[in-house]
Chains A and B, each alone.
Chain A
Amino acid sequence: MVRGMAKYLVNLPAVTGRRLVIALPLIWLAVFFFLPLIETLQVSFTSARRGIPPYEPLWGIGDDGFFTNFTTGNYALLLQYWSDYFGPAFNSIKLAFFSTLVCLIFAYPMSWWIARSNEKWRTILLVLVMLPFWTSSLLRIYALIGLLNPNGFINAAGLWLGLIDAPIQMMQTDFSIYMGMVLTYLPLMILPLYAVMVRLDADLLDAAADLGGSGMQIFRTIILPLTLPGIIAGSLLVFIPAVGEFVIPALLGGPDQLMMGKVLWTEFFRNRDWPVASAIAMLLLAILTVPIIYARYQDGRDTVAEMPNPKRAEAG
């Protein structure tokens, strides 16, 4: 970071044009991401009130001069009733984890197949992967309900063909939730995997086979390590939004499946307790950023270690 800044200062005249290009998204992020985040953080340290907005200002200048309403009460509340929040948090993380896993298992061979098919087909297949993204996710969930219902298409077809005697309970089960999750998040896993796989030089596989590698050995020693960045990127892309997901479990799951997203929603809109809701959001964010920062740190360390040193290479 410091080195980056120093480099930036040294190259100051050269980067004038580039600065604008970087500045625009940076300003956008500051206004629409960073400021709301700061706001949420502030709200989490105040107390609720009736009115608009439904929370006390954290600080301000009134008739008696500077005042502050700082309190850690919301976090204390979360700690006090931690068992009420722990369950949904656990449910959310479990759902996100297994959804990521199932997505990975499905997406890996699919991406491989797309990346290895000829160029003409690749584009078509990629469009097919992304096509569901162009329809409303809610619509897709309702379509799924239509398929999985006790009197839905699958049960009706099964009954008509005589494969089953009575409708199978598919809705309001783990099966229906995971179906919905995978249906929604699969493209987010496929795209980064595809991106690394399509760049994987086919000669490397021939070389490994030529040197005596069996199929499994080639996978373990060549393909897996070289597609790992895609696995990490895809998993983060699926896992992060999946933790906050509450529409899919609400529509496809049973009443016992309380998710963190739902709790958050309830605190915000049903209880109108924004400070507690903000505290939950901040805590969740903290829990989620730790593995991401760790992953980035690992990634960064690798990059630095593998940084080519042209001078050294030439000298040898």
Chain B
Amino acid sequence: MAPFIRLKSISKHFADVVAVDNLSLDIEKGELFCLLGASGCGKSTLLRLLAGFESPTKGTIEIDGQDMAGVAPADRPVNFMFQNYALFPHMSVADNIGYGLRRAGMRGTELGERVESLLKLVRLQKLGGRKPHQLSGGQRQRVALARALARRPKLLLLDEPLAALDKKLREDTQFELVDIQEKLGTTFIVVTHDQEEAMTLAGRIGIMDAGQLVQVDAPRSLYERPKSSFVADFLGTISFVDAIVASCDKTSITIGGDLNICAASDDDLPVGSAVKLAIRPEKIYLSRTKNGGVNEIEVVVEDLAYLGFATNYRVKTASGQMFKLQQQQRRSLDAPLSWGETGYVHFDPQDVIVLKD
């Protein structure tokens, strides 16, 4: 069966700017897909192409097996939720939500009931008569969601849906959004620059850079097994080590002679080839004493930041290699290492990511 949404090598040029560059992507029905990238990477343009506000310079967009070329936004089984919500300021909440239904010719009690059920879905039952500027940011966001869902679209496009909310509200709303998506079974495509938001919401994430998809995967795979240093660096914090393959049981990698790091790799890497190793901070353990395992390196504490639930360290080897690591304080009696003290870092070969770029 064909995927629900199929983007076939689409490009979008604005004058001499290439916003989307030969991008292909399949999305299944009922998925909650996140497009993640820095601002200006083309993710919003991609969303506007799907909505029909822009048409691609090259390539085809298929939604539910139908070619969308020349199909107006109104005629697509798609609705759009705007970053600034774009609520009609002169209309009440109920009129905003009912706008799409009225355009479809719905009137009277049928309209009233549908609007009422949508208000209930987003928990705004009593606020139907308010004007948008009489609502809080979170309430406005829910009105925008209800309005976009009113016509029962097969696909809902959300442009930075939570960006305008403060941090605490954003966390609650993330789960609410997932709940609503699961309840309705509508396919959601969410554009965001916030990686935590993407990790929380999405079944799959597509990371975009310079108009192209760098990697498309489940959040866990993206974080644990990034395929490029761009993705590894983009998601969370990571320490990179430039290395030369010197062969070991699986793959042993040496740099500069004094560091000997063992890494597990599925690929057979030729001896002498240059690679990049990447290790997540929470996968590195720091101790005062040597305990003689694999991947044990002597370091000096350069910098530390106490966060309460954990401490972030920046440590340096004798050869000048930096590692960023995060140490959880499990037993508060442990005397933590302080500035300038010498200790040892340890990490499992399984946790070392081998990147070929």
Contact = CB atoms under 8 A, between A and B. Distances in A.
Given A201-B84, A217-B103, A225-B90, A206 B53 contact: yes
Contacts of A226: 89-90
A289 B285 CA distance: 81
Given A212-B104, A217-B103, A207 B86 contact: yes
A211 B79 contact: yes
Given A201-B84, A312-B134, A313-B134, A210 B103 contact: no
B80 A313 contact: no
Interface of A is mostly: helix
Interface in A122-151: none
Contacts of B73: 206, 209-210
A211 B86 contact: no
Given A209-B72, A316-B139, A222 B103 contact: no
Contacts of A212: 74, 100, 103-104, 151
B223 interface: no
B150 to A, nearest CB: 8
B90 A314 contact: no
Interface in B141-172: 147, 150-151
Contacts of B130: 316
A207 B147 CA distance: 10
A271 interface: no
A212 B51 CA distance: 12
Given A210-B79, A211-B100, A313 B139 contact: yes
Nearest to A201: B86
A306 interface: yes
Contacts of B133: 306, 308
Size bracket, chain B contacts? 20 to 34
B136 interface: yes
B82 interface: yes
B131 A306 contact: yes
A309 interface: yes
A222 B88 contact: yes
A5 B134 CA distance: 26
A312 B134 CA distance: 8
Nearest to B97: A211
A204 B100 contact: no
Contacts of A313: 134-136, 139
B127 interface: yes
Given A211-B99, A306-B131, A203 B84 contact: yes
A225 to B, nearest CB: 5
Interface string A186-211: 00000000000000010110111111
Contacts of B53: 206, 209-210
Contacts of B88: 204, 207-208, 221-222
B136 A209 contact: no
A239 B346 CA distance: 83
Nearest to A222: B88
A306 B130 CA distance: 9
A211 B131 contact: no
A313 B84 CA distance: 18
Interface in B39-72: 51-53, 72
Nearest to A309: B134
A211 B82 contact: no
A308 B80 contact: no
Contacts of A213: 74, 99, 103
Contacts of B139: 313, 316
Interface string B11-36: 00000000000000000000000000
Interface in B83-114: 84, 86, 88-90, 99-100, 103-104
A211 B98 CA distance: 10
Given A213-B74, A313-B139, A316-B135, A207 B103 contact: no
A209 B51 CA distance: 10
Contacts of A209: 53, 72-74
Contact of A207 (B80, B90, B135): B80
A225 B78 CA distance: 27
Contacts of B74: 209-214
Interface in A261-316: 306, 308-309, 312-314, 316
A91 B17 CA distance: 58
Nearest to B53: A206
Contacts of B135: 313, 316
A206 B127 CA distance: 25
Contacts of A204: 86, 88
Nearest to A209: B73
Nearest to B159: A203
A314 B103 contact: no
Given A209-B53, A210-B53, A212-B104, 8 more contacts: A210-B51, A210-B74, A211-B79, A211-B103, A212-B100, A212-B151, A214-B74, A316-B124
13 contacts: A204-B88, A206-B53, A206-B73, A206-B82, A207-B82, A207-B88, A210-B78, A210-B79, A210-B80, A211-B79, A213-B103, A221-B99, A306-B133
Ranked nearest first, the 3 interchain pairs of A and B with the lowest CB-CB distance are A211-B100, A212-B103, A203-B86
Interface of B: 51-53, 72-74, 78-80, 82, 84, 86, 88-90, 99-100, 103-104, 124, 126-127, 130-131, 133-136, 139, 147, 150-151
Interface of A: 201, 203-204, 206-214, 217, 221-222, 225-226, 306, 308-309, 312-314, 316
